[in-house]
Structure 1
Amino acid sequence: MDRMVFDIAHLLAGGLVLVSFMMIYQERLGALIRVFAMHAVVLSLSVSWQAWTQDAPHLYVTAAIALVFKAVVIPGALLRIIRRMGIHREVETVVGSGLTMLAGMGLVAMSIVLMLRLTETVDAFAREDLAFALSVVLLGLLMMVTRRNAVSQVVGFMSMENGLILAATGAKGMPLVVEISVAFSVLIAFIVIGVFLFRIRERFDTIDLGALEEYRGENQ
C-alpha cells in the first residue's frame, strides 16, 4: 500500500513535468493556454493526492483553488483576451523548439541531481517531489526566457507558481492562509497584467516584445 501511494504521488508529479514540456513545445497561443489548463488539472490531482496521503484536509482547498482559477477561470480569460485583442496566434520564440526542449531536459536532469544531493536527510517521499517541483519551476522560467509574446510569458510565470505549490505540498503542506494569499496574489497579478496588455495593445498595436524593443530603439 505504501509503495502504491509513493508511486502514484510521483506519477502525478512527473506528469506535471511532462505537461511543462508540452507547454514548451506548443507553437500556438490557444494550444499553449489549453495545455496550461491541463497543467493546473494535474497539479490539482497531485495536491489532492497529497492531501489524502498526509491526512491534511486544508490541502483540498489548495487543489480546488488550482482547479477553479488556473484550469478554468484564468485560461478562459486569456483566451478571451487574445480574441478581443486580435493577437496573432503563433507563439514567437527566441530560439527553436528543439534547442529549448534540449535545454529543458538539461534543467530537469540538473534539478534531480541537485535536489537529491541537497535533501539526503529528507524523507524519500518528499525528496523526489521536491526534485520534480524544481524542474517545473525551471521549465516555467525557461518558457519566460525563450518566449517573446507577453501572453506566453504570463503562462510561464503561472507554471512556475504551480511548481512552487507542488514543492510546498510535497514538503508536508503549508498553512492555509499562505495558500489563499498566494492564489489571490496570482489572481491580482493576472488582472494587472491583463490591464497592461490592453494598454500596450492600444498604444503600440502589438504585444510582441521584440517589436516593442524596435519601437523603443527608433525613438532614441
Structure 2
Amino acid sequence: MTLAYLTSSAFASQLINLCAAILLLLGFAMLAQRRVLSLINLFMMQGLVLCTSTLIVAITTHQPHLYWSAGLTFLLKVLALPYILHRLIRRLSVKWDIETLLNIPTTMLIGIFLVIIAFNVAQPISLLSGTITRATIGIALACVLLSFLMMITRSKAVPQVIAFLAMENALFFAATSATYGMPMVVELGIALDVLVGMVILAVFFFQIREQFDSLDIRHMEKVHEE
C-alpha cells in the first residue's frame, strides 16, 4: 500500500467514516452504561477517536491548525478531563450505579429514533458541504442528540456532566465535519472554558454532597419546591 494511497482523499474519507461510526457506537454505549467508572472510560475512548479523526483530516487537507486541534483534544479529552473525573469520584467516594429516569431499552429506542431524525436533518446540509468529511455530519448531529438524551435521563450530577462533555465532543466533531474545524483562538477559548467549568462543577459537586449527602439532583428540586 503506497503512501499516495494512504494520503488520498478516498482512503482518508473511509477512515473518517470509520471513526464516525465508532463515535456513534460509543454514544450508544454511554447511553446504556450503568457504571460511572465505565462511563468515564467510554468518554476517554470518545476523545481518542475524536483526536484520531481530527489528525486524519489534518494530514489529508494539510491544515496546520488541525494538528494543534488534535493535540489539544488529546491533552484535554484523553488525559486531563478523565484524570480529573477519576480523582473527583474517588474524593466523593462515588460507588453507585448510574440511575436513569427511563429504563435502558426505552432509552435505546429513543436514541435510535433520534439518529434517524439526525440523518434526515443533516442530509441537505451534507449536500451543500464540500469537505471530505461531509458524509459524517449526520453522525455528528446524532452524537449531539444522544448526548443530550443521556443528560436528561440521568438523575445524578456526575453522569450529567459527562454527558455535557460528550455533547461538546460531538459539537467539535460536527465543526470538523462541516468546515474543517474552528479557528485556533476559538478552540483554545473553548478548551479553557471546559477546564474552568470542570473546576466549578467539582466545587458544586462537593457542595451538593455536603448539603444532601448525595449527588442526586432531585434533592435540589425538593428544596426549590419547599
> TM-score scaled by structure 2?
0.91
Tell me, yes or no, if structure 1 residue 180 matches structure 2 residue 188. yes
Aligned residues: 218
In the other structure, the counterpart of 1:7 is: 14
User: What are the superposed Cα offsets for residues 42-83 of structure 1, whole Å, 9 maximum, x if unpaired?
Assistant: 111011111111111211111112111211211121112112
Aligned-partner Cα distance in 2 for 1:80–1:104: 30
Aligned-partner Cα distance in 2 for 1:143–1:100: 8
In the other structure, the counterpart of 2:141 is: 134
> TM-score scaled by structure 1?
0.93
**Are the counterparts in 1 of residues 131 and 180 from structure 2 also a CA contact under 8 Å?**
no
* Structure 1: gaps (5+ residues): none
* Structure 2: gaps (5+ residues): 1-7
In the other structure, the counterpart of 1:62 is: 69
Root-mean-square deviation over aligned CA pairs: 1.5
Tell me, yes or no, if structure 1 residue 103 matches structure 2 residue 110. yes
In the other structure, the counterpart of 1:22 is: 29
**Are the counterparts in 2 of residues 116 and 127 from structure 1 also a CA contact under 8 Å?**
no
Tell me, yes or no, if structure 1 residue 201 matches structure 2 residue 190. no
Aligned residue type for 1:47: T
**Are the counterparts in 2 of residues 30 and 89 from structure 1 also a CA contact under 8 Å?**
no
Deviation at 1:215?
Answer: 4.7
Q: Which ranges of 4 or more aligned residues in structure 1 deviate by more than 4 Å?
A: none
User: What are the superposed Cα offsets for residues 80-101 of structure 1, whole Å, 9 maximum, x if unpaired?
Assistant: 2112112232101000111111
Aligned residue type for 2:193: S
Q: Which SS does the other structure have where 2:83 is aligned?
A: helix
Aligned-partner Cα distance in 2 for 1:122–1:78: 36
Matches within 5 A, 1:117-132: 117-123=124-130, 125-132=132-139
Tell me, yes or no, if structure 1 residue 190 matches structure 2 residue 198. yes
In the other structure, the counterpart of 2:90 is: 83
**Are the counterparts in 1 of residues 140 and 174 from structure 2 also a CA contact under 8 Å?**
yes
